[in-house]
Amino acid sequence: MKAVTIPQFGEADVLTLADVETPEPGPGQVAIDVTYAGANFAEILYRQGIANVPLPFVPGIEVAGHVRSLGPDVEGLRIGQPVAALTIVDSGGYAEVVVTSADLVAPIENNLSLHVAAAVPSNSTTAFLVLDRVARIEPGESVLVHAAAGGVGSQLGQAARLLGANRIAGTVGSPAKVKTAESFGYDEVILRDELTGTGDFDIVVDMVGGPARRASLDALAPMGRMVVMGNASGADDVGISANELWFANKTVSGFNLAAFSAAFPAEAGRALRRAVAAAGGDLRLQVEELPLEDAAEAHRRIESGSTTGKLVLKI
């Protein structure tokens, strides 16, 4: 089969379209004929060697397509069924066929198109898990989301609304992204460099890092919770004092979808199915597609910070 591989770590140009062996499902697994694969910052970390993976490596943490075959002990799915899936545990989505745990596959039972469905498993699932499972959001609370115009940021604000948040603010890195973030339902959109003095928040979600992380901690209300889930700025780690958390009644948690999906696949799958259902209704996604051959271009655009919404690759 055809797949985009990482033959060596490096810049986007190392991505190579190649012929690789077609995977077969084992017990509890599903093989999927991939129609679209989401493009994500996580796959850039694989390509750069920041996330250590064996080479050559096929990236791709989420897909949409049709069930190709079922491994032993798989129930509730049928061959030919349209599905969205998390392939984040072992990756492999930038390919014509991918195998993943049946727990991480969600049937598409509404009118959701496959190119939009491919944008759901990573970002939308993360949004519900981060707010509900990690931050334990309560109705009426206030939420601040960094990178509000990006793929996961576009979903976090909407998920916060669906989960009952009262004040939902987002930050962006440039004025050009303000209107895009506003279109995803944020009550306020703030330039990230101007966060100081905007008030306290019950929940802050930070995938940017660097100065934004320190400002996020300062922006937490008493009993506030900050969830760290990325470092898109590439800045050095920010030290957080345990004594400061103690004296200020604040909490900092981390969330990594790959580690969560590996440890709790059934729970990740439930969140995925919740996200797929929401995407067929109240959850808005902005999706742009590129051919699989342009995977390197997708990576360059994500790395530049110029993207809004989500890029998917057509297989």
Confidence of residue 52 (pLDDT cuts 50, 70, 90): confident
Q: Which residues contact 178 (CB under 8 A, 6 or more apart)?
A: 172, 189, 191
User: Are residues 128 and 250 both part of a single domain?
Assistant: yes
What is the identity of the amino acid at 132? D
Compute φ and ψ for 160, nearest 5 degrees. -60, -40
In a domain, 272, yes or no: no
In this structure, what token pair is assigned to residue 159? 């998920």
User: Are residues 21 and 67 both part of a single domain?
Assistant: yes
Inform me whether the pLDDT recorded for 257 exceeds 90. yes
Which pLDDT belongs to residue 269?
97
Q: Which residues contact 242 (CB under 8 A, 6 or more apart)?
A: none
Confidence of residue 309 (pLDDT cuts 50, 70, 90): confident
**pLDDT above 90: percentage of residues in the chain:** 84
Confidence of residue 1 (pLDDT cuts 50, 70, 90): very high
Interatomic CA distance for residues 2 and 304, integer angstroms: 27
Q: Is 160 left (phi over 0), alpha (psi -120 to 50) or beta?
A: alpha
Residue 212: name the closest of 183, 232, 187 by CA: 232
**How many domains would you assign to the chain?**
2
In a domain, 31, yes or no: yes
Using DSSP bridges, classify how beta strands 167-172 and 188-191 pair: parallel, antiparallel or unpaired.
parallel
In a domain, 280, yes or no: no
In a domain, 154, yes or no: yes
pLDDT tens track for 179-235: 999 999 899 999 998 887 777 999 999 999 899 899 999 999 999 999 999 888 888
- pTM here? 0.92
User: Are residues 115 and 235 both part of a single domain?
Assistant: no
Round the average pLDDT of the chain to a whole number and report it: 94
User: Are residues 112 and 128 both part of a single domain?
Assistant: no
Higher per-residue confidence, 199 vs 26: 26
Which pLDDT belongs to residue 246?
95
The mean pLDDT of 35-41, rounded to a whole number, is: 96
Which pLDDT belongs to residue 20?
97
Inform me whether the pLDDT recorded for 146 exceeds 80. yes
User: Are residues 181 and 61 both part of a single domain?
Assistant: no
Domain encompassing residue 78:
2-119+285-314
Interatomic CA distance for residues 125 and 265, integer angstroms: 12
pLDDT tens track for 85-104: 999 999 999 999 999 999 99
Which pLDDT belongs to residue 80?
98
pLDDT tens track for 262-295: 999 999 999 999 999 999 888 889 899 999 999 9
User: Are residues 74 and 94 both part of a single domain?
Assistant: yes
The mean pLDDT of 124-136, rounded to a whole number, is: 97
